[in-house]
């Protein structure tokens, strides 16, 4: 079993649209949406939820006013100003550090775990899918990313499916690190803009640091062919396979509006042949 994680240095590069398009080219895949902070693969694959599970992570302080003597120790120690003068904890501002709970001499501060979100096992028209929804202002998204990846791998093993396609988060932060660790390979989707190239280079360094084989896909390459050439030169200099380049195609956006993949909406669109070529190169580099 192999896992392909599709990531990008910045949001809006077309990562999820490409994952959705690849869903029809892969054989018996399992899908995983690891972009738990802003999941959107479900908007195209329309999953039917089979199982719902709670995600418990982090803590939020709660002051029992009946037991509190209002000594003010917690107000003094809280560096996040999460406790009001009337000794009520603001759950959004509370960072869950536990200092107030540890130093409260009256044992008036509880420190329960949070229900931070939910993760789901679903069925789609292209195969099983594991995805999640993180609660508002909740943290620990890296842990949730690890959870959905493990569940996707478990399903692939149980159903003898050979590939997990993971829609990863953008950027280079904790969720991305949690998404690419141990993957068979990452496909970095970039776009021909200065910010696109800059952020792509940061992701390349991240994948290199964790020894994860990387490939590059240039989306909307014809919007600025000068920068596209620069990206390809960067790939050659750093010995990173360029899986291909996809032209700007309005059909890509229109397919998303219709909650369809590119191949479902416009199988003869110019971008379709380019996506097929990208997929062929991905398979060669994963093997």
CATH number at residue 103: 3.30.70.20
Q: Are residues 103 and 125 in the same domain?
A: no
- Name the burial class of residue 81, with classes exposed (0-12), middle (13-18) and buried (19+) by CB atoms within 10 angstroms of its CB: exposed
Query: Length of the chain, please?
Result: 287
Which pLDDT does position 55 carry in this prediction? 95
Structural domain span for residue 40: 2-56+117-286
Q: Are residues 104 and 209 in the same domain?
A: no
DSSP for residue 89: B
Residue 151: CB atoms within 10 Å: 21
Nearest to 102 by CA among 114, 110, 94, 113: 110
Which pLDDT does position 11 carry in this prediction? 87
Q: Answer whether 155's CB lies under 8 Å from 40's CB.
A: no
Token couple for 36: 């738990």
Task: Report the SS3 class of residue 58.
Answer: strand
Q: Are residues 21 and 75 in the same domain?
A: no
Looking at the 3D structure of the chain, how many domains does it have?
2
Supply the CATH number for residue 161's domain: 3.40.50.300
114-168 tens-digit pLDDT: 999 999 999 999 999 999 999 887 777 899 999 999 999 999 999 999 999 999 9
Q: Are residues 258 and 187 in the same domain?
A: yes
Distance CA 119, CA 53 (A): 5
Q: Are residues 208 and 67 in the same domain?
A: no
> In which residue ranges of the chain is pLDDT below 70?
287
Q: Are residues 51 and 84 in the same domain?
A: no
Q: Are residues 279 and 159 in the same domain?
A: yes
Q: Are residues 134 and 172 in the same domain?
A: yes
3-state helix, strand, coil in the chain (%, to 5): 40, 25, 35
Token couple for 102: 């540890």
Which pLDDT does position 136 carry in this prediction? 80
Q: Are residues 193 and 255 in the same domain?
A: yes
Which pLDDT does position 242 carry in this prediction? 96
Distance CA 211, CA 205 (A): 10
């Amino acid at each position: 079993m192999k896992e392909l994680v599709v990531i990008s240095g910045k949001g809006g590069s077309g990562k999820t649209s490409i994952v959705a398009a690849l869903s029809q080219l892969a054989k018996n895949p399992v899908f995983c949406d690891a972009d738990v902070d802003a999941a959107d693969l479900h908007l195209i694959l329309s999953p039917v939820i089979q199982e719902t599970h709670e995600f418990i992570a982090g803590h939020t302080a709660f002051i029992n006013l009946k037991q509190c003597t209002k000594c003010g120790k917690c107000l003094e120690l809280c560096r996040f100003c999460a406790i009001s003068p009337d000794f009520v904890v603001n759950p959004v501002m509370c960072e869950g550090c536990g200092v107030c709970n540890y130093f409260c001499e009256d044992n008036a501060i509880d420190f329960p775990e949070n229900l931070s979100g939910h993760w789901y096992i679903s069925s789609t028209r292209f195969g099983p899918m594991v995805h999640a929804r993180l609660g508002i202002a909740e943290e620990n998204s890296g842990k949730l990313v690890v959870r959905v990846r493990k569940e996707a791998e478990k399903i692939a093993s149980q159903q003898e499916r050979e590939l997990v396609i993971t829609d990863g988060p953008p950027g280079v932060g904790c969720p991305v690190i949690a998404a690419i660790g141990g993957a068979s390979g990452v496909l970095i989707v970039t776009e021909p803009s200065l910010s696109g190239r800059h952020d792509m280079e940061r992701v390349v360094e991240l994948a290199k640091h964790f020894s994860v084989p990387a490939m590059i896909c240039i989306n909307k390459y014809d919007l600025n062919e000068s920068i596209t050439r620069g990206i390809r030169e960067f790939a050659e200099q750093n010995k990173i396979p360029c899986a291909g380049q996809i032209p700007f195609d309005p059909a890509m956006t229109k397919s998303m509006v219709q909650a369809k993949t590119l191949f479902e909406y416009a199988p003869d669109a110019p971008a379709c042949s380019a996506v097929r070529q990208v997929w062929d190169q991905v398979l060669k580099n994963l093997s």
